[in-house]
């Protein structure tokens, strides 16, 4: 069997499959690009939410609406509640240094991933979650148990106030 010039040309122009280690590098690059795209898309989604909430409150406070890291993994509704609460504070001349209800929910969620919350911690998270839902005008999910007994009258309000100051302090120390 003789090889013709056409056979040689065909062999030279036929694509050579990449070695297996290149395939994993290509997949790694594709994964990084996909993750980057999701981050960029999420950033623009949250910018849209910020603009909607500023328009709703009739204020211009884009500088105050940078999403805190603790809200990064939570659903957009928590960022919307965070932005809405801050816009309402700007409109009323309130203190922006105090943490939002959404930040309290996120902080307690993060803590619960490290260790189970105590009865008081779970009750506080439930109270803060109810505040987020009220702020958004949404009903509480029917599966959420919200019958936590306060350790003393006004305990949830006191704990929530302390938690807001603490998450606000931590947010201020990050920027």
Longest dimension (CA), the chain: 97
Total domain count, the chain: 1
Q: Please report whether residue 148 resides in a domain.
A: yes
Q: Please report whether residue 52 resides in a domain.
A: yes
109-133 per-position pLDDT tens digit = 999 999 999 988 888 998 899 999 9
Going by pLDDT thresholds of 50, 70 and 90, the confidence category of residue 2 is: low
| Full domain range(s) for residue 92 | 20-174
Tell me the pTM. Answer: 0.74
Q: Please report whether residue 108 resides in a domain.
A: yes
Q: Please report whether residue 2 resides in a domain.
A: no
Q: Which two tokens stand for residue 146?
A: 């919200």
Residue 72: name the closest of 146, 157, 174, 165 by CA: 174
């Amino acid at each position: 069997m003789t090889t013709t010039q056409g056979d040689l040309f065909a062999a030279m122009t036929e694509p050579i499959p990449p070695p297996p280690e290149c395939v994993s590098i290509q997949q790694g690059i594709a994964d990084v690009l996909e993750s980057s795209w999701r981050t960029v898309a999420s950033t623009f989604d949250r910018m849209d939410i910020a603009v909607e909430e500023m328009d709703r409150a009739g204020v211009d406070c884009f500088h105050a609406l940078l999403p805190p890291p603790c809200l990064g993994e939570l659903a957009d509704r928590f960022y919307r509640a965070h932005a809405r609460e801050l816009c309402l504070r700007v409109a009323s001349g309130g203190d922006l240094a105090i943490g939002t209800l959404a930040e309290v929910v996120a902080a307690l969620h993060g803590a619960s991933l490290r260790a189970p919350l105590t009865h008081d911690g779970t009750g506080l998270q439930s109270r803060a979650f109810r505040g987020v839902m009220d702020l958004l005008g949404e009903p509480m999910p029917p599966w959420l148990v919200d019958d936590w007994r306060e350790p003393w009258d006004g305990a949830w309000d006191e704990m929530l106030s302390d938690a807001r100051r603490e998450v606000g302090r931590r947010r201020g120390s990050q920027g």
